């Protein structure tokens, strides 16, 4: 009887180990989890629309946490400084909608300890999303975010961004 219990225990334990999902690394993600850079849609001199990257970044971790930061240039041309703007947790409601719980917000402390309903859609494969949030007037405000990709820096041909 003890042998049967032992083998059942080993079998259940083995199944549980195999059923666990492999850890998701941010550079390999194709969903909302990722390292994102905010971009702005501008027109160039020929009138074509182009995405211009900003210094704002958002990291959405697989563990349900996120933070945003920006790179601040110094007035004297010295090294740029990253500044965390906000951090918190998120929960995906359904495909295309999620809620952020902002724990702390550096630019506007009144946003600290609040929830923000957001929606998003992919616009260029898995690498660009339009994320929208509602402002105080309940109007959806769009933001464009492009996934920061992993680049193999060992090859000279891949050094151009």
Give the integer Cα–Cα distance in Å for 49 and 101: 33
Mean pLDDT for the stretch of residues 87-93: 96
Q: In this structure, what CATH number is given to the domain that contains residue 105?
A: 2.40.128.490
Give the integer Cα–Cα distance in Å for 157 and 161: 10
Strand partners, 22: none
Residue 32 lies in a domain: yes
The SS3 of residue 38 is strand
Number of domains in the chain: 1
pLDDT at 159: 52
20-24, 94-98, 112-116: range with highest mean pLDDT: 112-116
Give the integer Cα–Cα distance in Å for 90 and 105: 15
Structure tokens at 80: 């740029």
Residue 10 lies in a domain: no
pLDDT digits (tens, 9 = 90+) for 43-60: 888 888 888 999 999 999
DSSP 135: -
pLDDT band with cut points at 50, 70 and 90 for residue 98: very high
Residue 105 lies in a domain: yes
Residue 34 lies in a domain: yes
Mean pLDDT for the stretch of residues 75-79: 72
């Amino acid at each position: 009887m003890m042998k049967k219990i032992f083998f059942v225990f080993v079998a259940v334990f083995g199944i549980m180990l195999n059923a666990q999902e492999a850890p998701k690394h941010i550079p390999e993600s194709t969903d909302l989890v990722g390292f994102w850079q905010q971009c702005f849609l501008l027109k160039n001199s020929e009138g074509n629309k182009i995405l211009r990257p900003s210094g704002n970044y958002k990291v959405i971790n697989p563990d349900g946490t996120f933070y945003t930061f920006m790179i601040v240039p110094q007035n004297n041309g010295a090294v740029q400084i990253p500044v965390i703007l906000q951090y918190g947790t998120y929960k995906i409601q359904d495909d295309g909608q999620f809620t952020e719980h902002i724990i702390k917000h550096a630019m506007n402390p009144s946003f600290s300890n609040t929830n923000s309903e957001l929606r998003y859609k992919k616009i260029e494969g898995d690498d660009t999303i339009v994320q929208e949030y509602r402002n105080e007037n309940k109007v959806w405000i769009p933001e464009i975010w492009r996934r920061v990709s992993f680049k193999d820096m060992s090859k000279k041909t891949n050094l151009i961004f």
